[in-house]
Amino acid sequence: MDADIASLLVAPLPDVPLSLRIEAPCVDPVAFLRLPLPGEPLLWDASSWGESAVAARGVVVRWNLMSKTLNSVGREVSAFLRSMEKRSAPCSTSDEPRCYGGVSFDRAGPSEVWVGFGSGSFVLPRFLYEQHGGHAWLRLHVLPGEPLLPMLDALQQARRSLFDLPPRASVQPAGPFHLTEDTEGYRRVVLAALSAIAEGVLEKVVVARYLLLEGGPIDPWSVLDRLEGEPMVRFAFGRGNQVFLGATPERLVSLDGRYVATEALAGSIQAAPGASSSLLASNKDRREHQVVVEAILQALAPFCIHLDAPHAPEVRPLRHLLHLRTPIKGEAKEALHVLDLVGALHPTPAVCGLPREVAAAWLRENEGLERGWYAAPVGWFDAQGRGTFAVALRSALLQGSSARIFVGAGVVQGSTPDGELYETSLKARSLLDALGI
């Protein structure tokens, strides 16, 4: 056993959960997921947001939402994390262990499509690879009484494998693939949404659809490789034989102490020369964006001493699309858990509509789509309730040789079925590219 790993065992083992950490080489975190470690996979790569990149395998503890509230689960999990003893080798500051997971868009009941995901869950992973600020670590979480030595051997072998990684080869899609999409059905739902808006039932509603890709087999790690490079959060959550993955541009909320950060991201146009000016000048997109800004400010106001938001949006450039974006910052009135803010914000008008409850009910009745974790909060939190959650957009549910790609567009007065269909096709482009289509 390596000396630094052995140093973790110098002190007697406590009768509490342990978090053990050792230094590791800096590699692409997706490479860790390719190692022969057991258990469901997880990726949270928020390095483009200045946060850590984390890849993990296995589960020590899982907390399922079921009938519980986000607030109660958050405090239960954070209390467990506070009970952990942390050891790090060689000597370095040991940061807080984190839980990772998400919730479903609409906790209405079981889903035939999202079999293993349920209404939401958070996990404390078994084996983790963490990278931040030019440094990297491997971490192992164990419960009292679990056989520690075999897991330390696996951790040691994982580190050696990361040091000996060969150059990353370009993996070609398996294919050939068959793509299915119900464009006429989507047009009908958009027309129904426009009728509800004209009747004054809704101000805005976000209508989503999916594209079904079949062929395969599909390698999720190659898909994540090809999603690298844009200023977005790459994520992957495995449940059973399914993997939900994507690269989302939208932060739902971050909480660090009393510092709150979020953003409004709504209003889109295809990336092209001069498109930024066209987007900023679009009354339809500016209206759609402003209702999101106002709803976020209203939802956060009870929790914050003050909130700051620019008077005009900026343009957020991505590979295929430009979005209107308004960053929003604030200071919490008191000590909060990040899940308090997640519960207050989700679903925002950027993924649901306005009025929120009416739009959610309308989607349940008319959209005909099992959204599952699509357009829902995914992220992490620690023992102190700090954390970051993103909105799971630009995403796909993979199972064997099939992939469901989920995309949506905001319908407001002035929208057209063809326009919304075209926007969702643009939003699907990054996943189709990553899948080799």
> Which residues are marked as active site?
204, 250
Residue 3 phi, psi dihedral angles, 5° rounding: -60, -40
CA 143, CA 394: separation in Å to the nearest integer? 36
The amino acid at residue 358 is V
Query: Residue 318 in contact with residue 230, Cβ under 8 Å?
Result: yes
CA 310, CA 263: separation in Å to the nearest integer? 11
Residue 327 phi, psi dihedral angles, 5° rounding: -75, 140
CA 401, CA 243: separation in Å to the nearest integer? 12
Quickly list H helices, 88-144.
none
Nearest to 53 by CA among 247, 209, 241: 247
Length of the chain in terms of residues written: 437
Asked if the peptide bond before residue 347 counts as cis, ω within 30 degrees of 0, the response is yes
**CA 73, 87, 254, 433: dihedral to nearest 10 degrees?**
-100
CA 63, CA 391: separation in Å to the nearest integer? 20
Quickly list H helices, 270-416.
275-281, 283-300, 338-345, 356-366
Burial class of residue 30, CB neighbours in 10 A (0-12, 13-18, 19+) = buried
- Strand blocks (E) in 169-256: 178-181, 204-214, 233-239, 242-248, 251-256
The amino acid at residue 49 is W
The amino acid at residue 155 is L
Query: Residue 122 in contact with residue 383, Cβ under 8 Å?
Result: no
CA 372, CA 113: separation in Å to the nearest integer? 8
Residues facing 407 on adjacent strands: 209
The DSSP secondary structure of 367-401, one letter per residue, reads T----TTTTSEEEEEETTS-EEEEE--SEEEEETT
